[in-house]
Amino acid sequence: MRILLAEDDRQLAELVRTSLGAAAFLVDVERDGEVILYRGETEDFDAVLLDLGLPSLDGLTILKRWRKAQRMMPVLILTARDQWEERVEAIEAGADDYLVKPFRMEELIARLRAVLRRANGFAAAPIRFNGYVLDTRLMRLSRDGVPVELTPQEYKVLAYLAFHRGQVVSQLRLTEHIYAQDFERNSNSIEVLIARLRRRVGSEVIKTRRGFGYYIEQDA
């Protein structure tokens, strides 16, 4: 899952980026409000962690402009402001959740996973498909209680497809959502990961729409 972290506190941003990376998220960090607005308008993020107090353009204005432009990715507000009026204003503007600083990383990760599940139509964890159980908290796949061993990259690909069941996901989209921009990768890296996953879970689980991409069926 590719996350935009909009936070101007460098120390906190690095801590969040590292913690989310360990939880299998891909994190892009930006500090300037105008840049954050532009990236949210033009790029495909699975969710945004948005600080309200940003230089050049405040977070609430950014959120309102995204929603006005029909940019509907989940947004979790991170802020030191604790007044209930500001929480209400943020929720009314289109925020999906609100977390007051200082916070524990475990709570941030839990809330982020929750807004991602809700955005993709899952009421609660774990995610179930084709007899498999994907535990996003433990980053573990199992079937009939038996763990299925996955590498970190295999897990990221499978989790992304599972979260977007019923959608055909292109190789380019998968690449953008599991690899950092500066990560050197081969053009066939996604094909290799898909082939390995099919050996682990069966070719009937991950299907191909030739020329378009890969998918897990909605009712699987």
pLDDT tens-digit series, residues 190-216: 899 999 999 999 889 999 999 899 999
> Pick the residue with more confidence: 152 or 179?
152
Tokens 């989940």, located at residue: 74
**pLDDT score of 123:** 65
Domain range spanning residue 154? Answer: 127-215
Q: How confident is the model at residue 184 (pLDDT cuts 50, 70, 90)?
A: low
Q: What is the 3-state secondary structure (H, E, C) of 61-74?
A: HHHHHHHHCCCCCC
Burial, 123: exposed, middle or buried (Cβ in 10 Å; 0-12, 13-18, 19+)? exposed
Please spell the DSSP secondary structure of 47-116, one letter per residue. Answer: EEEEESS-SSS-HHHHHHHHHHTT----EEEEES---HHHHHHHHHHT-SEEEESS--HHHHHHHHHHHH
Could you give the number of structural domains in the chain? 2
220 within some domain: no
103 shares a domain with 139: no
Res 183 pLDDT > 70: no
76 shares a domain with 32: yes
64 within some domain: yes
Average pLDDT (97-110) is 93
177 within some domain: yes
**pLDDT score of 177:** 87
User: What CATH number is attached to the domain comprising 142?
Assistant: 1.10.10.10
133 shares a domain with 111: no
106 shares a domain with 8: yes
Quickly count: other Cβ atoms within 10 Å of residue 57's Cβ: 15
89 shares a domain with 141: no
96 shares a domain with 7: yes
> Pick the residue with more confidence: 177 or 3?
3
Q: What is the distance between the alpha carbons of residues 111 and 91, in angstroms, rounded to a whole number?
A: 15
Res 187 pLDDT > 70: no
103 within some domain: yes
Q: What is the distance between the alpha carbons of residues 87 and 143, in angstroms, rounded to a whole number?
A: 41
Res 66 pLDDT > 90: yes
Q: What is the distance between the alpha carbons of residues 127 and 88, in angstroms, rounded to a whole number?
A: 31
